[in-house]
Amino acid sequence: MSTDERFRSLFDPAGVIVAGVSNHPAKFGFVTLHNILASGYEGRVFATNRDGGTVLGIDALTSVRDVPHGAADLVFVCTPASANPDLLRDCAAIGVRAAFLTSAGYGEAGEEGKRMEDELVALADELGILLCGPNGQGVVSTPSKLCAQIVAPYPPEGRIGIASQSGNFVSSFQNFAVQSGVGVSRAVSAGNAAATGVPDYLEFYADDPATAVGLAYVEGIRDGRAFFDRVRSIAERKPLVLLKGGSSAYGQRAAASHTGALAADDTVFTGMCRQAGVTRAATVEEAFEAAATFATQPLPRGNRVVVMTTAGGWGVVTADALANTSLELVALPDDLRAEIDQRLPPRWSRNNPVDLAAGETRDTIPELLDVITAHPDVDAVIYLGLGIQSNQARLMRQGRFYPDEGLERIVAYHERQDARFAEAAAAASATYDKPVLTATELAVAIPDNPGPVAVRASGKLCYASSNRAVTALDHLWRYAQWRRRRGLD
């Protein structure tokens, strides 16, 4: 059986067995079964444990052998390490092709555990079973509504494929997905990565139609050369965002060479990423936002950015942020300036950033987003100022005068307008196939503001600050450039 088919069994199984279920709601076996059942998985679900009984309405079988042959192709293993070799043999006998082991007591537990882990790898190989973990948190796959993991959350559906050497980062990335609304296709924690490592999952994502971008946390890479070859081949097919831990742990030869002395910290890793076309992020939120941007915005065809803002200070700060990137705050083309002149009173900035200086009327913002994005000398747009009026509307709605004094009408108007503006940004992006990013701190400060709500509804990320939008867009342009320079587009 091909590796790809076994990954299919991991991510899109026809049926799942949870081995080692428990009636105790704090045990992994219970939590996993709960999460599978609660998240809407539509395949068949089986549970086993030594003593039988009923857990969460499922009659537990005392042996995996009692599962009809071919009814389940994924087993989620919560049993102790000592029980697992026999379990795997039974699973193979009834047609299971992939096993995710959350069981601990393996390589992480010392010499004896390492020996058992090696034996398990050999056994799984012999049985033709894809072995994931052990000591991992689980696997999520939204196309199959599968949440086979020992922790929350179950993220919204989307196109980010997550793989992590640390289970906690799978949770972190998924929590960002819940918060931002930009969802996940697949997510897996590699645990001890005894047989299947982060690059193996990323390799599957690279050819997975449900996934638009890979997002991974790695540390302690075993074979740097092999890793480089893998990630470069992946980046040729799809964007890949890496967050790396332990960036200062490099052994360094006390060399006679100056070059060696300068190879400190993780400069070599950074260079490797640039060479491989991998997007390296410095922080967990930067990593998620880069991936979310790859998943929801087209790649820019150039680096010329227009910043459109309803108020001056934001534009200035955004211009500063752009100065430290590969992006260009493009000088406003004359014909575009003339177009904007027709729609605003003369006090607007008349350059880039396009500061409306509160000169807009009902249709100005949607129209400007369209004409600016349409212009051939503009490759991307950052839009600032969404949600201000709705924030005022919120205060009015909460105040004691509402709905009198005309407040009901104006509140509804503002809320409708901000939703419109967000929709216009998404429409301009779709029409002209260019990135249009919307940034406002209201995305996190007042997440139910109709502006950010409409951004999320449009499937896009609403950036919590313009700096973060700039950083994400910079990552997109660098990747686009990497592709173009190598003739990949």
Binding site for other proteins (CB under 8 A): 221, 224-225, 228, 250-253, 255-264, 267-272, 274-275, 485-486
For other proteins, which is the closer residue by CB, 89 or 483?
A: 483
Kindly state the tokens that stand for 236.
């040729």
Residue 265, C-beta contacts closer than 8 angstroms, at least 6 positions apart: 247, 248, 250
CA nearest to 184, candidates 152, 223, 140: 140
* Shortest reach from residue 275's CB to other proteins, in Å: 5
Provide, rounded to whole angstroms, the least separation between the CB of residue 481 and other proteins: 9
**How far apart are CB 205 and other proteins at their closest, in Å?**
23
CB of 482 to other proteins, least distance (A): 8
Least distance between other proteins and beta carbon 353 (Å): 24
Q: Which is nearer to other proteins, 264 or 445 (CB)?
A: 264
Confirm if 210 and 185 have CB atoms less than 8 A apart: yes
Q: Can you tell me the distance from the alpha carbon of 288 to that of 277, in angstroms, rounded to the nearest whole number? A: 17
Tell me: cis bond preceding 153? Omega within 30 of 0 counts: yes
d(CA 139, CA 153): 11
Burial state string for 207-233 with b = 16 or more CB within 10 A and e = fewer than 16: ebebbbbbbbbbeebeeeeebbebbbe
Question: In this complex, which beta carbon is closest to other proteins, that of residue 168 or of residue 326?
Answer: 326
CB of 82 to other proteins, least distance (A): 35
Closest approach of other proteins to the CB of residue 98, in Å: 30
Q: Measured from the CB atom, is 271 or 399 closer to other proteins?
A: 271
**CB of 448 closer than 8 Å to CB of 480:** no
Identity of the residue, 62 or 275, whose beta carbon is nearer to other proteins in the bound complex = 275
With respect to other proteins, which residue has the nearer C-beta, 26 or 254? 254
Q: Which is nearer to other proteins, 262 or 338 (CB)?
A: 262
Nearer to other proteins, 250 or 401 (CB): 250
d(CA 140, CA 162): 9
- Nearest by Cα to 214 from 192, 235, 190, 183: 235
Smallest distance from other proteins to CB 231, Å = 12
We find the least distance from the C-beta atom of residue 301 to other proteins, in angstroms, to be 18
Nearer to other proteins, 253 or 400 (CB): 253
Which residue, 245 or 260, has its beta carbon nearer to other proteins? 260
Please report how close the Cβ of residue 377 comes to other proteins at its closest, in angstroms: 23
